[in-house]
DNA sequence: GCAGCGACTGGAAACGATTCCAACTGATGG
DNA sequence: CCATCAGTTGGAATCGTTTCCAGTCGCTGC
């Protein structure tokens, strides 16, 4: 459990050469063949591995990147993290997970903590944004990439998606497949996604995608439990034949609420989600969902980060990932189903 | 995007005192009231934050702990990670996520990489174990806590659970509720969980929990897709009235296969899973599952780690977390259901 | 009045690596 | 035969922090 690590000077001593030569020999440049061989041998005998901390101090580079979100258990963030790790690890970067906390203040504090210099950059997906947070990001001593909201105007690198447009696509899909009265089940409006999705729904309604009216409720949280509670309220309204939920978990809550009322999904009620999560894919019925490309966004953010970390003079850059509607059972119906109504 | 960070010597200069005093004043011990005030003021003016790397080098402590698993997207590991982060973060430790790769060789390499000294310890949950891996863990320069298999005899700290016993509990539950012919849907047998769960099933059968016989198949992986494929094979056997799956994802695959055959769950076929994941809890029907206490195991591992990190002389220690059967819809049936058969 | 003591302070040495710079080695070319 | 030069090498500085070790200062108690 406790072997002791060899240092570079021990390798140097064993090889009988100077510290400087040892470093060069191991690192590659500017050493004779004989020297390299000799040092390599000594290093191997001692089982030498360079110390990450010493090296970081000297090189002013930690080879670590932080990934910060409100809740590392959220499937969407998990997917992003996996993608980010997948991109960064092969380049020798480690990923440090951090939580932003619920408020913009705690998020801003987290960004400020970058002043401790423990990472070369941070990928962050804040639930909410405010001026102080933006300022902290701009003043951060290392590059920060924001996932979730386009911040081009502030000179901040970001990876965004069009979740408003995604909701619009879901509403149009329901309209086109014959649904007439659509309910919207959203999460908290004071979050970036909640606000955008509401905007998307309102726009779709204005555009006439709900000929026979619409209803909207707001759940306390983006979870199944909160979705169930809010969906009960929503389904109490008369004549809804479809529910657009702001994410997959809320959609599943809605399906549970529908079952309680004896409504069949999708025959009596179509339901769509958003985020295209595993949980929705395997659900029964499988869930129609708007993919916001979590994996793709994570990957894009990581690639941006990589560029910024390798070359700090890089300009801030923005990437947009488009939404994609994936139709599955929860919003399908056969012609016969429809005609029975 | 690029403000420059202040160093301790800049603070010292600004305060007009020595480096040593500055450090002491900020860190607390052995400085006069006046000194503390003076230095604090200078530090505040400069927005000083101590450099994590410099401090790590000197203190030989990184305040980082690695969490290593084969797949950071797996819900069970996500739950563990959340718990670990929850315990460690309040104590000032950062969590670095790493992947072990599929093989014991790559896992052992990862453990060996601890020689680079970038973390104060590692919590690892290897899918498979072999002698080399155990040796590497024993020789690691920092404490390692293993989640998944009791390794007391090797002087390694571990957090284990009794998944064999958990399978036994599931089988007995099905037996007691009237099921007579039980199928077992397992994952790869060359993994630690696969092996243990098979052992648990075989033992239960031997103990007479399947009066009218049993069947077992092995899926290629612990996933829904693999579970579906394997469950089709399993359900082709005659007269099964229950399936015990080695985890929740396989169980959901089994339910899909049952649906294909027109079998109702739980009326025609009871299904149980393992791990008590969110996905199983919200599934329809909600999934009876054996909880192995992922959160609890993660928390226990983190607490162990904390002790070991604070005091390297600590003895290796083992913790066992018991399984708990959580009965939900997928294995319920009413008396009437049964009598109809 | 002075020895002794305790509370503070500053200089300097770590920690482990990389890299600048000067010095040394042969070899080459004039 | 000597000046030059490329190729290597070692000494020393550096990154930012903590902490050991003297040294200073002002008090107290005799």
pLDDT at A3: 62
Q: What are the DSSP calls for B133-182, one per residue?
A: HHHHHHH-SS-EEEESS--GGGT-EEEEE-HHHHHHHHHHHHHHTT--SE
A117 at B interface, C-beta within 8 A: yes
The strand pair at B64-69 and B121-125 is best described as: parallel
Average pLDDT of chain B is 94
- The HSE-up count of residue A277 (CA atoms within 13 Å, CB side) is 27
Sorted by where each begins, the domain ranges of chain B are 8-50, 59-161+293-321, 163-291+326-340
Q: Structure pTM? A: 0.94
Mean pLDDT of all residues in A160-171? 97
- Give the best residue of A48, A51, A53 to mutate against chain B (max B CB count within 10 A): A53
B73, B49, B208, B245: which is closest to A278 by C-alpha? B73
pLDDT at B140 over 60: yes
B79, B93, B71: which is closest to B143 by C-alpha? B93
Token look-up 């192995």 returns: B292
Euclidean distance between CA atoms A76 and A73, whole angstroms: 9
Query: Which chain A residue has the Cα nearest residue B283?
Result: A283
pLDDT at A336: 45
Which pair of tokens denotes residue A339?
A: 């005609």
Euclidean distance between CA atoms A46 and A43, whole angstroms: 5
pLDDT bin (cut points 50, 70, 90) of residue A277 is very high
Ramachandran area for residue A112 (φ above 0: left; ψ -120 to 50: alpha; else beta): alpha
pLDDT at A144 over 60: yes
Mean pLDDT of all residues in B265-284? 96
Asked which of A300-309, B33-42, B86-95, B329-338 is least confident by mean pLDDT, the reply is B329-338
Which pair of tokens denotes residue A300?
A: 């894009």
Contact criterion met (CB below 8 Å) for A39 and A25: yes
Tell me how far CA of residue B169 lies from CA of A57, B209, B241, B296, in angstroms: 54, 10, 17, 19
pLDDT digits (tens, 9 = 90+) for B234-250: 999 988 999 999 999 99
A52-59 and B52-59 are packed helices; what angle lies between their axes, rounded to 10 degrees? 140
B98 at A interface, C-beta within 8 A: yes
Ramachandran area for residue A129 (φ above 0: left; ψ -120 to 50: alpha; else beta): beta
The strand pair at B157-161 and B182-186 is best described as: unpaired
Tell me how far CA of residue A165 lies from CA of A90, A169, A172, A313, A324, in angstroms: 34, 6, 10, 34, 10
pLDDT at A169 over 50: yes
**DSSP H or E segment with residue B33:** helix B33-46
Contact criterion met (CB below 8 Å) for A179 and A336: no
Q: Which residues, at least 6 apart from A321, have a Cβ–Cβ distance to it below 8 Å?
A: A159, A160, A161, A292, A293, A296, A297, A300
pLDDT at B134 over 50: yes
pLDDT at A339: 45
Euclidean distance between CA atoms A210 and A179, whole angstroms: 8
Q: What sign does the CA torsion over A53, A56, A58, A60 have? A: negative
pLDDT at B173: 97
Computed over its alpha carbons, how large is the radius of gyration of chain B?
A: 26
CB atoms < 10 A from the CB of B263, how many? 17
Mean pLDDT of all residues in B289-311? 97
* Cβ contacts of A57 on chain B, cutoff 8 Å: 53-54, 57
Tell me how far CA of residue A70 lies from CA of A32, A100, A160, A190, in angstroms: 52, 5, 17, 14
Min Cα–Cα distance to chain B from A141, Å:
5
Give the nearest partner residue to B52 out of A73, A117, A139, using CB atoms: A117
Q: What are the DSSP calls for B184-236, one per residue?
A: EEE--TTSHHHHHHHHHHHHHHHTTS-TT-EEEEE-SSSSHHHHHHHHHHHHT
Q: Which residues of A252-266 are buried (b: 16+ CB within 10 A; e: fewer)?
A: bbbbbbbeeeebebb
CB atoms < 10 A from the CB of A241, how many? 20
pLDDT bin (cut points 50, 70, 90) of residue A149 is confident
pLDDT at A83: 98
pLDDT at B312: 74
Q: Which residue has the higher pLDDT, B98 or B213?
A: B98
Put simply, the answer to whether A255 touches B283 (Cβ < 8 Å) is: no
Which pair of tokens denotes residue B324?
A: 């708990």
Which pair of tokens denotes residue A61?
A: 């580079």
Tell me how far CA of residue A212 lies from CA of A178, A179, A207, A238, A266, in angstroms: 11, 9, 13, 11, 19
Q: Do domains A59-161+293-321 and A163-291+326-340 have the same CATH topology?
A: yes
Find the length of chain A.
341
pLDDT at A152: 76
Q: Averaging pLDDT over each range in A146-155, B23-32, B60-69, B331-340, which range is the top one?
A: B60-69
pLDDT at A334 over 80: no
Euclidean distance between CA atoms B36 and B30, whole angstroms: 10
**DSSP summary character for residue A314:** P
pLDDT digits (tens, 9 = 90+) for A78-132: 999 999 999 999 999 999 999 999 999 999 999 999 999 999 999 999 999 999 9
Among residues 19-78 of chain A, which lie with CB inside 8 Å of chain B? 47, 49-54, 56-57, 62, 64, 71-73, 78
Min Cα–Cα distance to chain A from B203, Å:
31
Which pair of tokens denotes residue A175?
A: 């309209």
CB atoms < 10 A from the CB of A188, how many? 17
Mean pLDDT of all residues in A230-257? 96
Q: Which residues, at least 6 apart from B315, have a Cβ–Cβ distance to it below 8 Å?
A: none
* Cβ contacts of A117 on chain B, cutoff 8 Å: 5, 51-53
pLDDT at A1 over 70: no
**If one looks up domain B163-291+326-340 in CATH, what number appears?**
3.40.50.2300
Q: Which residue has the higher pLDDT, B168 or A27?
A: B168
B312 at A interface, C-beta within 8 A: yes
Beta bridge partners of B95: A97, B65
pLDDT at B338 over 60: no
CB atoms < 10 A from the CB of A218, how many? 18
pLDDT at B29: 79
CATH class, range B59-161+293-321: alpha beta
At A97 the three-state DSSP class reads strand
Token look-up 């003021």 returns: B41
Contact criterion met (CB below 8 Å) for B245 and B214: no
Q: What are the DSSP calls for B80-132, one per residue?
A: HHHHHHHHHGGGT-EEEEEE--SSHHHHHHHHHGGGG---SEEEEE-SS--HH
Euclidean distance between CA atoms B237 and A121, whole angstroms: 56
Mean pLDDT of all residues in A272-284? 96
Euclidean distance between CA atoms B127 and B321, whole angstroms: 18
pLDDT bin (cut points 50, 70, 90) of residue B314 is confident
Residues with CB under 7 A from strand D: A 17-21, 24-25, 30-35, 57-58, 60; B 7-9, 19-20, 22-24, 26-27, 48, 50-51, 53-55, 57-59
Determine phi and psi for B37, rounding to 5 degrees: -60, -50
Determine phi and psi for B316, rounding to 5 degrees: -60, 150
């Amino acid at each position: 459990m406790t072997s002791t690590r060899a240092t570079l000077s021990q390798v140097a001593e064993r090889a009988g050469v100077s510290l400087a030569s040892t470093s060069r020999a191991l690192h590659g440049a500017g050493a004779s063949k004989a020297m390299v061989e000799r040092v390599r041998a000594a290093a191997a005998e001692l089982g030498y591995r360079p110390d990450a901390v010493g090296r970081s101090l000297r090189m002013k580079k930690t080879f670590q990147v932080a990934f910060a979100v409100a809740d590392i258990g959220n499937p969407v963030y998990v997917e992003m993290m996996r993608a980010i790790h997948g991109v960064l690890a092969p380049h020798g970067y480690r990923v440090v997970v951090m939580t932003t906390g619920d408020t913009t203040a705690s998020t801003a504090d987290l960004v400020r903590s970058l002043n401790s210099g423990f990472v070369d950059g941070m990928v962050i997906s804040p639930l909410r944004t405010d001026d102080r947070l933006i300022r902290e990001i701009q003043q951060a001593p290392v590059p920060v990439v924001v996932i979730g909201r386009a911040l081009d105007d502030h000179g901040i690198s970001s990876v965004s998606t069009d979740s408003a447009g995604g909701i619009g696509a879901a509403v149009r899909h329901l309209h086109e497949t014959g649904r007439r009265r659509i309910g919207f089940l959203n999460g908290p409006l004071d979050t970036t996604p909640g606000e955008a999705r509401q905007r998307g729904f309102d726009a779709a309604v204005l555009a006439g995608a709900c000929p026979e009216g619409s209803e909207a409720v707001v759940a306390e949280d983006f979870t199944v439990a909160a979705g169930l509670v809010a969906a009960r309220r929503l389904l109490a309204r008369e004549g809804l034949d479809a529910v657009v939920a702001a994410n997959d978990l809320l959609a599943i809550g809605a399906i549970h609420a529908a079952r309680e009322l004896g409504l069949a999904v999708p025959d009596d009620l179509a339901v769509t989600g958003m985020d295209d999560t595993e949980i929705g894919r395997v659900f029964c019925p499988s869930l129609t969902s708007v993919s916001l490309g979590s994996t793709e966004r994570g990957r894009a953010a990581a690639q941006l980060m990589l560029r910024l970390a390798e070359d700090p003079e890089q300009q801030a850059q923005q990437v947009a990932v488009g939404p994609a509607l994936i139709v599955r059972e929860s919003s399908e119906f056969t012609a016969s189903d429809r005609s029975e109504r």
